[in-house]
Amino acid sequence: MARKIDGSGQTALITGASSGIGEALARRFAQGGYHLVLVARRAGKLKSLAATLSATHGVKTWVAATDLSQPDAAKKLAASMKRAPATDRCPG
């Protein structure tokens, strides 16, 4: 039996969220009440998933179309998250 998770008010960063295990994790964490930062290379799939999860589970989502295999990609992602207006950021 799957363990119930309760992430009310917390934020999870999910990489590879546009398909496969990453997408499954995003769905599971959203179901548990976590706000999400979704990262993958395909912006279209991420935006669609983010909209679905927000509407279904009432969580905030932040989408970053980023290829984390590129040099300094994680550093650039962190910087863009810090620069985002507070109203666009996920809590936590």
pLDDT digits (tens, 9 = 90+) for 3-50: 556 667 788 999 999 999 999 999 999 999 999 999 999 899 999 999
Report how far residue 35's alpha carbon sits from residue 14's, in angstroms, rounded to the nearest whole number: 10
pLDDT at 92 over 60: no
**Banded model confidence at residue 1, pLDDT cuts 50, 70, 90:** very low
Question: Of the candidates 55, 13, 57, which has an alpha carbon nearest to the alpha carbon of residue 38?
Answer: 13
pLDDT of 37 reads: 93
- CATH fold of 1-68, please? Rossmann fold (3.40.50)
pLDDT tens-digit map of 44-84: 999 999 999 999 999 999 999 999 999 999 999 888 888 87
For the chain, give every domain's residue range: 1-68
